[in-house]
Amino acid sequence: MTSLILALALSAQPPSAPSSADDVVAKAFADGSTPVAMNRAAPEPSMLGRVVGWGLALAAVGAVVIMAARRRQQKPEAGFAEIAQNLTVGPKRSLLVVNFAGQRLLVGATEGGFSVLSSQPMGPTEFEALVKEAAP
């Protein structure tokens, strides 16, 4: 549109020689002086551009997959407390066997809170005791 207005302005003739706007437009476009951008369609991306684009997209997808796989493989760190077993006994009720501070606790968990039902000191397991006895 800008080039059309510019062509009209540049080809304006003095008032002594009247001409219609159609004549001016026809003359402006007849000599091939139209801007290149008006004659050309949108450029197609080159093959190299396509390959680079797809390569970047695949690299991004690969990075996301690797990060997700690493996150799934992470194991929780051994801490001060450990839930050895969880037994659900009803809706919102369960029994937990918890190893905590050198003791094994039987804990009842309900909607209202937690209650320690039993505790005993943790010693070596039977398997660990058998291994120690068998070791020379």
Looking at the domain assignment, is residue 69 inside a domain?
no
Q: Which tokens is 15 given?
A: 């008032």
Task: Quote the pTM value.
Answer: 0.37
Q: In what order do the strands lie in the sheet with 103-110?
A: 81-90, 93-100, 103-110, 113-121
| Domain coverage including residue 21 | 1-57
Report the pLDDT value the prediction gives residue 48, as an integer from 0 to 100.
85
Summarised one tens digit per residue, pLDDT across range 69-96 is 988 887 666 667 888 899 999 999 999 9
Residue 38 covered by a domain: yes
Give domain status of residue 116, yes or no: yes
Do the domain assignments include residue 68?
no
Cα separation values, 125 from 14, 93, 131, Å: 110, 28, 10
In this structure, the answer to whether residues 85 and 49 fall within a common structural domain is no
Q: Report helix, strand or coil for 17.
A: coil
Q: What parts of the chain have a pLDDT lower than 50?
A: 16, 36-37
Helices (H), the chain: 2-10, 21-30, 36-39, 47-73, 126-134
Q: Are residues 8 and 53 in the same domain?
A: yes
